[in-house]
A and B are shown apart, each in its own frame.
Chain A
Amino acid sequence: MLGTLLVRKNRFSQRTIKWTFIAGMLTIMSTLFLSGRENIFTVNGEVESATLTFAENRLNKWNITGASIITDLDNLEPELLQQQEVYFSPAKGATATVNFRIGTKRKEIFITVASEQGSIGVIESEDGSFTLGTYTEIIVPFEHSKIFPFVGSMQLGEDVAVGVENILLEGTVKIIEQEFIGDGRYVAGEYNLDRGDRVVLYLDNNLTRTSQVKGFMRLTDNNAIAITAHGVGEVVKVERLGSAGYKISPSVWARLTHDPLIAAITTLFATLLLLMEFSELIVNLSAKKEENITSEANE
């Protein structure tokens, strides 16, 4: 009778330990899985047109030597900037759309810059600098490859609609997530974009704040503009014709497979749980055996 009671008590304490262990394990795993991490999104694409809204940063300085500008819509004759070296430094909040203009004789880089908040920026040359108004078109003859670096918010591609001529041709979104401990990072997912998609990186899931990205566009003999941009964010919104679009964000399962710490802890917990089950089975079997022997002796 006493033996049976002891076995029952032993079983009860074993069960308590087991469930406490499982509860603790679930808490730790939930913390590891759902903890906030810094995600860096890398967006690569080939586009026919790129739109940027500039942040205040010295990296935003474009060589436009040989360019002509139109600043007044009542005078559409472009004014040639004849200086040896000319740079355009956009103001914070100015929005630029860059595309190629391909004529029969020559190819040009066409930049439209506009601002809601005042001047779009400054033209700098060896003769000094002058401030532009709220709207300017910059036409740069294409003679050799150019790189335009930028810091600001970016939309890659245009959503297809009537009259839209320049779209995204191809691209990828890569998510690089921070490891739980340390500065290490891992690729938490890579997604291909379809032709005609429009992509914007946001800082929040409600899509209210766009992320400030650092990147560059490369303008070459190819008629498409190659863009690479990196930015910290929470979600990438993809607009796609004929659908409600979708969001790209790091998957919880990617953490399980890619974060070394989570992978190690998961394996450790699984092993411990297995050992616990195994030991409980052995204890139960031996207790049953002991019980049988006791009952046989009593008989």
Chain B
Amino acid sequence: MAKFYSSSAGIFILLSSLIGLNVEAAQEPSIKLLDDQFSEQYSTNVPVSGRVLAGIAINSDILPGLSIFIPHTNDNEQICMRVLSRDGTYSSLNQYQVPNNLKEGFQSVEYPSEFMDVISSFSESDLAVLAYSGQCKDNPVNELYLSARGEPKNSDKVTIFVSSGRSEVFLRIPNENSTTDMIRCKRIQQGKRTGYDTQCHIGLSKLLTGKNEISLIRRKSGRMLPSVKFSILYSRSIS
């Protein structure tokens, strides 16, 4: 009888380790950190950057882990990814290396955070991810990638998170008629807004394949603040 138990336990351990290996293999992130050291902060003593653009995301189910939509890759391409919570308590800034010949689509990103529980507790509008081509020290950011938390939904909504300093925010986006459309953004009313305070929603169908040159216009007490120009890299294969 004892022999039966020990052999069953052995089979169980072997099966478990095999399943474990399979899961690990399935969860292996496609885009890896450039450095071994992962840089993040979580504190109620909020350090806040003055960056206007806080993040761009496509609607997704909230799962542990982050992914970025890669429409094309260049050899030895590097991506910088900033993550910031609405209340400003959590932030991270890390440099990633995109492997050559990576296929087009949403690719999971290595994110060995100590605060995964905290990140998972943030709702869709409580965490902004800004991923852009180039070095983290580059300023201003230019070519932005769409990001998602977990699996992207079959959704038609892209959200741009903005730290506007409580100004009125508008987006000027190109359309198929070679003119532009103006979209008014929405101020977040609930909770603390130290990290960012505004959300701009764009229909995914409004984005054109390739580079979408967008202007972010801010107006405060009757005066125009400097506009922020950026482009979203997009491909129709996402939808």
Spell out A's residues near B (CB within 8 Å).
49, 70, 73, 76, 95, 97, 99, 101, 110, 112, 114, 116, 134-135, 137, 139, 155, 158-166, 200, 207, 239, 241-245
Verify A245–B192 contact, CB threshold 8 A. yes
Query: Across the interface, which residues of A come within 8 angstroms of B48, CB to CB?
Result: 161-162
18 more A-B contacts (CB under 8 A) besides A155-B189, A161-B193? A49-B166, A73-B170, A73-B182, A76-B224, A97-B166, A99-B221, A114-B168, A114-B184, A159-B192, A159-B193, A159-B194, A161-B194, A162-B48, A162-B165, A165-B220, A166-B166, A200-B189, A241-B194
- What is the size, in residues, of chain B's interface with A at 8 Å between Cβ atoms? 32
Spell out B's residues near A (CB within 8 Å).
44-46, 48-50, 88, 163-168, 170, 182, 184, 186-187, 189-195, 197, 217, 219-222, 224
Verify A242–B166 contact, CB threshold 8 A. no
Considering the chains assembled together, what is the distance between the CA atoms of A110 and B45 in angstroms?
34
Query: Across the interface, which residues of A come within 8 angstroms of B190, CB to CB?
Result: 207
Verify B221–A161 contact, CB threshold 8 A. no
Verify B88–A161 contact, CB threshold 8 A. yes
Query: Across the interface, which residues of A come within 8 angstroms of B189, CB to CB?
Result: 155, 200
Nearest 5 Cβ contacts at the A-B interface: A163-B165, A162-B50, A161-B194, A239-B192, A110-B221
Mind listing 10 A-B residue pairs with CB under 8 Å? A73-B182, A101-B222, A112-B221, A116-B186, A159-B194, A161-B193, A162-B50, A164-B166, A241-B194, A245-B192
Considering the chains assembled together, what is the distance between the CA atoms of A155 and B193 in angstroms?
13
Considering the chains assembled together, what is the distance between the CA atoms of A242 and B221 in angstroms?
27
A261 CB, min distance to chain B CBs, angstroms: 37
Query: Across the interface, which residues of B come within 8 angstroms of A243, CB to CB?
Result: 44
Output the nearest chain B residue to A102 by Cβ-Cβ distance: B221
Considering the chains assembled together, what is the distance between the CA atoms of A49 and B219 in angstroms?
15
Verify B170–A161 contact, CB threshold 8 A. no
A246 CB, min distance to chain B CBs, angstroms: 12
With contacts A73-B219, A137-B222 known, is A161 near B165, CB below 8 A? yes
Verify A241–B46 contact, CB threshold 8 A. yes
A97 CB, min distance to chain B CBs, angstroms: 8
Verify B166–A158 contact, CB threshold 8 A. yes
Verify B44–A163 contact, CB threshold 8 A. no
**Neighbour of A161 across the interface among B163, B168, B224, CB < 8 A:** B163
With contacts A73-B170, A114-B184 known, is A139 near B163, CB below 8 A? no
